[in-house]
Structures are given as C-alpha cells and as structure tokens.
Amino acid sequence: MTDPAIGFDPVTGINPSVKRALNDILGGTAASVLTVTFGLSYSLLIFAGPLSPYLSYGITATFVSSAVLAAVIALGSSLPFAIAAPDSSTAAVTGILAASLVERVVAADPSASLLSPILITLGLSTVLTGVALCGLGLTRMGRAIRYVPYPVVGGFLGATGLLIVMGAIRVITDHPVQLATLTHLANGTALSELGAACAMALVLYLTWHRSRSPFGLPIILIGGMLTAHFAFWATGVSLDEARALGWTFQPPPPATFMLPWHADGLIHYPWLAVPDLLGNLVAVVFVTASSTLFNTTGIEVAVHREANLERELNVTGTANIVTGALGGYAGCISTSRSVLNFSSGGRGRLSGLTVAALSLLMLAIAPELLGLIPKFVLGGLLLYLGADQLHKWIIESRKRLSKLEYLSLIAIIAIIVVWGFVPGILIGVIIGCATFAFSAARVESIKYSFDGSEYRSSLDRSRDDQDVLLAHGGKIQGLNLQSYLFFGSANRLYQHVKQLLQERPECRYLLFDFKLVTGVDSSAAYSFAQIKRSAHDLGVELILVHLSAAAEKVLRSSDFVGEGVTIIPELDRALEWCENELISQHQELAQEEASLRDWFTGILGSEDDADALIQRCQRIEVGADEVIVRAGDPADSMLFILDGRVGIMIPADDDHTTRVRSLGRYTTIGEMGLVSNTPRSATIQAEVDSVLYVLNTHQFDAIKQEDPALSHKLLTYFVSVMAERLTFANRTIAVLRR
C-alpha cells in the first residue's frame, strides 16, 4: 500500500508513478523487440526485387512508420497501452502496391528511377488510407465493415498470408514466384536457401509460436544467425562469398531519410499509372480498416477492456496521415504487441512512446545489422508469418465454416492471387451474398403450424360451439413464421402452402403470424402473391397477424393486400374471428339442412325418407353466370334448387343463347334425363349465386335397389312435376293462339 505521507510504496521504496513508468517502459521494450524484428522483414518484403538497391530507404520508411504510428496511437487511443506499427497484412498489400507500380514504370521506361515514384506512392497511399479511416470514424460507418461476409474477410486475409509466403520466397531467392522463374527456383542454391528458411520457420513454430515469450524471437533469430555463420566458417565460406552466393544480404548504406514531396519527383511521377493502381490502393485501405477493427476487438477480448471503435479509426487515420506525410506506409494497432505489453505490466501511454523511441534508434543500427543476417533467417520469419495466417484462415476456419462458405473462402483466395484484390473483393462479396442467400433459404421460415381444432382463441364458448370447432377446426390452418423472408425462404413457404392446401382441402382460413419475422423484401412479396392466387382458386381466406408497418408496405406494393386478405393485429383475435365465421357458417348450414328437410318431407311425405334422400345428395355452390351443365352432356343427374335461381338456355343466332325458362328455389331440373338417360337438350346456367343438391344416376339406381318405396315416391314426384310443366305449356300455347 502506498503511504500518502511519504509518496512511495513502503515495501519497495519506489514511488508509484515511477513504478508505473518502469512497467510501461519494460512492456514497451518487450513490444519493441517484435516491432524491430518484424520491421526488418517487412522492409525486405516491400523493397524486394528491383527495389532492393533502395533497401536503406525502405528501412527508414519502416521505422519512421513504426515510430509515428506507435507515438500517435499511444497518445490518442482509447486503450492507453495500445502498441501500433505496420502489420503483416498491411505490409503484404503495400508490397503488392509497390510491385505493381514498379512493373508499370519499368514497362514504360526500363531506365527510369524507381526511388521517387515508390516513395510518393507509399506516402500517397498511406495518406489516403488515413483520410478514409478518419471518414469511417467520423461518419460511424466503420462498423459497416463488420457486415462484410466472414468468408470474404477470411479469403482476403488468407490471400495476404499467401502473398507473404510468395514474398518471402522472393526475398530468399531474389526471384518472384512465377512460371517463368520456376527454373531459377529449382536450382541447388535456391532449394538449399528455401530449405534453410523452411527449417527456420519450423523452429519458430515449434518454439516461439507456443511460448510467445517477448525475447524468444530475437534469441531464435540470433541463434539462426550464429548457426549460419558457424556453417560458413566450417565449410570455409567467407562472408563475402556467402553474399556472392546469395546466402546473406548485401549491407545497405546507412538509413537515409528523404521526404517524397519535392517538385521534380511530383512532376515526373507516372500519374497515368494511377488508375491501374486503384485496386491495390483500395486493398490497402480495406486491409488497414479491417485490421484496425479486428485487432481492436481481439485486444478487447484478450484484456477484457472496452475500446471506442470510432475513436480508434480516427486516431489510426490521423497516425497514417502523419506517417504518409513523412514517407512511411500504412499500419494499425497490433494485437500481439499490445497484449504482450499488457502482459508485461504496461498500462499507460509511455509504452507506445518507448516503442517509438526504440524504432527511431534502429535507424542508426538496422543497416549494419541487416548486412550480417542470412536471408533464410528473415525469410524464414516471413514464411512463418505467412504460413501462420494461412493456417488460421484455411485450416482453422474450416471448423467454423460450412462447406459452402469454406469453398467460397478458398475461391476468393485464388481470385485475389490470380486477378488482384479488387476482383477478389467484388467477386468475394457476390459469392458471400450468394452463399448467405443459399444458406438463409435453407433456414425454415415456419417455426410451427397449427389448426383450429388444436389451438383456439381464449374466448370461452358453449359446449355446442366447442363441438363445432372440434369437428370443423381443420378449416382453420395457421403458420407461425420466423426470420427474414426473401426470395429463397419465401419460395419455400409458397411450396409448403401449396402442399398444405393439397393435403387439407377442407381449409378455408389460412393464418400467417408475422410476430417473429424480422423483415420482408419485395421478392418475397411476389411469393405471397402466388400464395394468394392459389388460395383464391380454392376459396381460402388469408389472414395476416402481427404484420409490421414495413412488411405491410412491401406487401401492399405488390397488391397482395386486398380482397381475400384480412389483417388482424393479434393472433388471439384472428382465431376468434375465424371461429366465429365457422360457427356462423355451421349455423347457416344447420338452418339450410332444416329447410331442405322440410322441403323433401313435403315432397315425400316422410321425414325419414327426406333424411335418406339428403344423404344421397351432394351439396354444391355455384356462382352467378356459372354453367352447371351444357347441352349435349350426358344426363347423369338431377338438381334440387334450394336457394338461388337457374336458367334453361338454348342456342340462338350469332352464337348467343336464349333463356326459355327460369327456376327459383324449391324447384328441380333434370328429372326427365335422370329417368330416360338421354343427353341434355339445353344448357343449365346459374343466374345468381345458388345452392344446389345433386342426385346422380348412381345414387338414384342405389335408391331403386335398396329403398323401392323411396324410389316410387321420387318417380311419383317426377310425374307430378312434368304434369305441372305440361299444363303450363298448354296454357301458354292457348294464349298464343288467341
């Protein structure tokens, strides 16, 4: 405990402020070891091939970037212990940008100077990256990058890992990985160098990868250097001979700092090549922004501290603008170095400032140090970094992704490596969206289904009404919907409804509960329009429940909401409405059946015979102007008209028909044909909505065999009806003869 009177810890005798400062310096020093080591490898990765003569400028750019990023982010980050520097992913895309510029400059003029264009390109790309990051932070649009599909991000970062590996091979052998250079990579020296680098990467994996000790990495690298120099000594190879054979780096001149912004360089800059570089510029911005967000989130999880993402984007953007102005390249907050600093006791902003100071110190030491380091040592470090990233996104991600998502991730990596970052991003987003749509379409849009006999409203009803609902509840079918409804899931819903209506032909009310639906798109509205048409053809009423205003607007725009569709706010009230309709219809049917029984009793003189005839008849409903039978059809039934009116139509001139007779309720038609089995002599058409009971020939024959008394009564009725019609016809003829 600190003694407030004396201002220091009585146990250690150290002032608490001094103790915190010492912890920050210790943590910053540990993180600096990684910054320096990685910085040397990033310099070699970017300034490789035709740019290798300018490696001293690359070393300067690297450690200036490390110093500025570490200092600015340490002073402004919402995480005081944060350590920032160029990252492996940002270095990889920066290397691709530099290589693309060199390729175009050399193609236009092989003798052109590369130093000024490359420094201007690095500075411009970093400044633009900083401006973009600040824009994302100020507009709070940075979080939008988290909506990029995970396989797209994984494919992007996996591709950077592969590019780091390819860059490492170039650093080790001085030849890029291309078909034209395979012969150079296959010679004995190159294979020996690659074998030594792979061995170095394996040692790093078996030791430092598992321990992550802050000083483990430099110890391993120094051990690799000593082993190489011992091998040179044992085989009698001098240091100059080793350099001539390509085993070690040529010692660059002392680090040279040069601002890229001078008039002559800007005038002679190949501005016409800028459009061709836009894709790689976008890649630098995308990787830096995504790395900033992902690394910040990783630090939050590791140390249980919450960061302000908008502030991190703004600070990182500012740091990159300053870095670009000084000729450096893009970087961001580092998860490994920040966590290492935190684990070493660093909690304050002095840690980042320590990293900045040691990075500037390396400007005087790094060139001489690099001349002693064998290529396979730093090349092996790059191989390890690239392979570690590839393992994370190609091997480990397989456990988290579905087969389709994983295949899309591999495809995006291949597209980026072959065609570049912009095609990879665009095609990757398309693949990601298509994969999401396919996966989302497989998610069941129906949480559960029910019918009116098993799930009812909360309204207490009489026993008679309950019996009606128990017997006829299947006419109410309900579907509880869920998730977001779009063209894929809505089409599956349409197919399900079609099958449901086929399996449940008695259905008359179909309820859709939208309570768990998060949204409906316009393509889903088309599927609902198909559902409406299918339901209308079968006489099914659609009821929508818990429909949000946004979903209702989408469905109304497709003319789905209208006749045949009812919107009710709550499911309980919707069920009550359907039940009331069913009960009302049942009561009407009961009244109709009583009316039919009274009519048949009057015809046959017996209620028992009336009930027997009702059981033999089939009830049908016909709409106005609907043709019931046509002239020339077989006379295989007679019609009892319980309600409505039908007309007897015969052909007239000009393809028209003329009504010769009209029959109202409690009349019959077709008796003669039922007895004589002759074809219909006229067309029977409903004039208004009508309810008919049909007695076909099969049922009539069954009555004649099973109930002769009822058959005799029916024949007697037929004769009386025909006698009445004959009397009416005679009176009509008599009037016409006057």
Q: Above 60 in pLDDT, residue 395?
A: yes
Q: Decide which of 146 and 661 is more confident.
A: 661
Confidence grade of residue 559 (pLDDT, cut at 50, 70, 90): confident
Q: What whole-number percentage of the chain has pLDDT above 70? A: 89
Domain match, 370 and 490 both: no
User: What domain range is 330 assigned to?
Assistant: 16-436
Does residue 451 sit in the same domain as residue 409?
no
The domain boundary, picked from 585, 609, 625, lies at: 585
Q: Taking residues 265-292, report their average pLDDT.
A: 84
Give yes or no: residues 320 and 455 share one domain: no
**Does residue 441 or residue 339 have the better pLDDT?**
339
Residue-level pLDDT at 145? 58
Q: Is 86 a residue whose pLDDT tops 60?
A: yes
Picking from 436, 468, 483, the residue at the C-terminal end of a domain is 436
The pLDDT of residue 130 is 94
Residue 590, in any domain of the structure: no
What is each CA distance from 180 to 97, 174, 185, 187, 296, in whole angstroms? 21, 14, 10, 14, 41
pLDDT at 301: 66
pLDDT tens-digit map of 528-537: 888 888 888 8
Higher pLDDT, residue 717 or 15: 717
Rounded-to-integer distance, Cα 113 and Cα 33, Å: 34
Which has more confidence, 621 or 188? 621
- Residue 679: count other Cβ atoms within 10 Å of its Cβ: 12
Residues 428 and 546 in one domain: no
Give 169-211 pLDDT, tens digit per residue. Answer: 877 777 767 666 667 667 777 788 888 888 888 888 888 766 6
pLDDT tens-place string over residues 681-731: 888 899 888 889 999 888 888 998 999 999 998 888 888 888 887 877 677
User: How many residues does the structure list for the chain?
Assistant: 738
CA nearest neighbour of 47 among 33, 39, 37, 57: 57
* 339/359 same-domain check: yes
If DSSP states are collapsed to H, E and C, what string results for 113-178? Answer: CCHHHHHHHHHHHHHHHHHHHHHHHHCCCHHHHHHCCHHHHHHHHHHHHHHHHHHHHHHHHCCCCC
Query: Does one domain contain both 352 and 275?
Result: yes
User: Which position has the higher pLDDT, 167 or 723?
Assistant: 723
* Domain count across the chain: 3
Kindly list the distances between the CA atom of residue 25 and the CA atoms of 19, 31, 341, 588, in Å, as whole numbers in the listed order: 10, 10, 9, 91
**Same-domain pairing of 110 and 246:** yes
Is 60 exceeded by the pLDDT of residue 3? Answer: no
Please indicate whether residue 463 or residue 662 has the higher confidence score (pLDDT).
662
The answer to whether residue 441 sits within a structural domain is no
What CATH number did the domain enclosing 553 receive?
Answer: 3.30.750.24
The predicted pLDDT at position 511 comes to: 93
Decide if pLDDT at 633 tops 80.
yes
Same domain, 462 and 611: no
Predicted confidence at residue 318, as pLDDT, reads 95
d(CA 424, CA 418): 9
Residue 64 lies in a domain: yes
Q: pLDDT > 90: what percent of the chain?
A: 11
Confidence at residue 421, expressed as pLDDT on a 0 to 100 scale: 64
Note whether residue 336 is domain-resident: yes
For the cut 70, the answer to whether the pLDDT of residue 253 exceeds it is no
For the residues 111-122, what does the mean pLDDT come to?
A: 87
DSSP letter for each residue of 263-277? HHHHHSS-GGGHHHH
**Domain-located, residue 5:** no
In this prediction, residue 505 has a pLDDT band, given cuts at 50, 70 and 90, of: confident
Model pLDDT, residue 410: 84
Question: Do the domain assignments include residue 8?
Answer: no
Res 1 pLDDT > 80: no
Residues 406 and 464 in one domain: no
CATH number for position 661: 2.60.120.10
What pLDDT score was predicted for residue 223?
86
In a domain, 640, yes or no: yes
Predicted TM-score of the model (pTM) = 0.57
Question: Domain end: 415, 436, 457, which one?
Answer: 436
Lowest mean pLDDT among 223-237, 364-378, 442-456, 472-486: 364-378
Sequence-distant (≥ 6) Cβ neighbours of residue 428 within 8 angstroms: 149, 151, 152, 155, 156, 408, 412, 415, 416
Beta strand segments in 623-707, E: 627-629, 637-643, 646-651, 657-663, 667-669, 683-686, 690-696
* Most confident by average pLDDT, 79-93, 205-219, 338-352: 79-93
Same domain, 222 and 89: yes
Distance CA 216, CA 204 (A): 9
Rounded average pLDDT over 358-368:
79
The whole-number average pLDDT for the span 44-51 is 84
> For residue range 416-460, what is the model confidence (pLDDT) as tens digits?
777 766 677 677 777 767 766 666 656 678 888 888 888 888 887
Residues 693 and 558 in one domain: no
pLDDT of residue 5: 46
User: Does one domain contain both 381 and 417?
Assistant: yes
Evaluate the CA torsion angle 204, 159, 421, 405 in order and state its sign: negative
Place of tokens 């099958």: 499
User: Would 557 be classed as within a structural domain?
Assistant: yes
Q: What's the mean pLDDT when you consider all of the chain?
A: 82
In the chain, what is the straight-line distance between the N-terminal and C-terminal CA atoms, in Å? 133
Which of 108-117, 164-173, 231-240 bottoms out in mean pLDDT, i.e. has the lowest? 164-173
